[in-house]
Amino acid sequence: MSTNTTSTDFQETFRQMWATRPPRIPKDQGGDGHVAGVCEGLGVRYQLDPTIFRVLFVIFGIFGGGIATYFLAWLIMPRYSLPISPLEAVSKPEGKQFKKERELGWWLIVGTVIFWSTTFSDTANFIGSSSLVTTLAACVVWYFLHQRTPVPPAGLLSDIPGDPGPDFSSLKPVDGFPHPYVRQTPPDWDPLGVAPFAWHLPDPGPAPEPEKPKSSVWKWIIGIGGATAAVIMVASATGTAVFIAKDDQPLTTPGIQNEIVTTEMELKDSYDFGVGNVELDFSELAPLSTERKVKVDTGVGNVDIYLPTTSPVKLECDTGVGNTNCVDGTYHPDADGKLLTLVVDHGIGNVTIHNQ
């Protein structure tokens, strides 16, 4: 095969991958995403459990560069029902309808550059940076996912026809944009004959055969996760070491988001963190005079929560992928203060509860 033919095939494959890339499906549009709906969108587009992709980002985080890769995916994936991504919105300054996406795009670009810069300190270390290796590994995974499922489900993308798939009518489009999913009208069979335009349709055929059972989610997790880890380790063994720093000094890590609460006045109703490690310290909190319910909503990163001993604490835990010792229950029930209820909702990373 000639070089020109190979180059043309690659360009066409990349064009198709880009045109059919998955949208993000956040919670406010009917998805079950923990952060921005990236994993939820990947799961729907490629017909796999979103847990698989959450595990993949954890693997990327272990080898370094996981947050940068997540930001990059967030940057190039449009919200469900929008025709352009935050990255494309940045390059299109006109149009008020994309102002929110444009601002998000700039923030994501800054965040991606910052997290990339933490993994290499000079040009010589660029090839060996963990962010570069994990991003290349993510591109390889994306390529094979596209080869497996080249056509998206119908109604998922606003301008791409697709194969019959899930019902997306429960998802909400962005205000001012049409819903990509259009239910077929009339149905294949109109048993009551109430649709005159459907009277010409034939009687229904025999019932379809039951679908074959789907393969186990864990088979995909182990397969894709193992292949990704292998790609990263091979890159490291061939001279592109994942953890490289100038003059053999350890790489710096992104700063920890730290909140220390000591008085009832300082206690917020909710603590919302997106990406990064979090320390939430209630250990010096004075006894509460009234019962309080506080939600802790975190996305990607490790979370450490220090419980107070001056008030009873009730934990309600909803953790995603990662190690956790967060267990529903009441702690220090005999403490003097009023009850503090902590609702912990976390996506990817470890959650550690410190109970003194």
Q: What confidence tens digit (pLDDT) does each residue in 26-45 have?
A: 887 777 777 788 888 898 88
Least confidently predicted of 3-17, 174-188, 259-273: 174-188
Distance CA(120)–CA(290), nearest Å, equals: 49
Angle, alpha carbons 104-300-80 (nearest 5°): 45
pLDDT-derived band at 159 (thresholds 50, 70, 90) equals low
Torsion angle of C-alpha atoms 238, 239, 243, 249, degrees rounded to 10: 150
Mean pLDDT for 78-84 is: 85
CA distance 107 to 234: 33
Residue 248 pLDDT exceeds 70: no
Whether residues 42 and 106 fall in one domain: yes
**Cβ atoms of residues 232 and 137 within 8 Å:** yes
In a domain, 107, yes or no: yes
How much is the pLDDT for 208? 54
Cα separation, 184 vs 55, in Å, equals: 36
User: Are 275 and 233 in the same domain?
Assistant: no
Residue 140 vs residue 134, higher pLDDT: 140
Q: Is residue 247 part of a domain?
A: no
β-strand 257-260 against 270-275: which pairing, if any? unpaired
User: 109 and 10 in one domain?
Assistant: yes
| 325 belongs to a structural domain | yes
Name the band, by pLDDT with cuts 50, 70 and 90, for residue 182.
Answer: low
Closest CA to 195 of 185, 182, 205: 185
Instruction: Give the alpha-carbon dihedral of 75, 345, 262, 255, to 10 degrees.
Output: -30
Residues 16 and 116 placed together within one structural domain of the fold: yes
**Total of domains in the chain:** 2
Task: Give the angle 38-115-325 at the CA atoms, nearest 5°.
Answer: 65
Beta bridge partners of 79: 24
Beta carbons of 311 and 337 less than 8 angstroms apart:
yes
The Cα 332–Cα 161 span in angstroms is: 57
- The whole-chain average pLDDT of the chain stands at 73
Are 170 and 125 contained in the same domain? yes
In this structure, the answer to whether residues 151 and 74 fall within a common structural domain is yes
| Domain coverage including residue 341 | 257-354
**Residue 4: what pLDDT?**
61
Rounded Cα distance between 128 and 100, Å, is 35
Q: 15 with 130, same domain?
A: yes
What single-letter amino acid sits at 288?
L
Average pLDDT over residues 212-221: 47
**102 lies in the same domain as 223:** yes
Structure tokens at 162: 């697709």
Q: Is the pLDDT of residue 175 over 50?
A: yes
Euclidean distance between CA atoms 50 and 320, whole angstroms: 11
Packing angle, helices 217-237 and 130-148, rounded to 10: 140
Does residue 122 belong to any structural domain of this protein? yes
Q: What is the predicted pLDDT for the residue at 232?
A: 46
54 and 109 in a single domain? The answer is: yes
Instruction: Based on the fold, state whether residues 178 and 264 are members of the same structural domain.
Output: no
Tokens of 13: 């494959």
> What does the pLDDT read at residue 291?
92
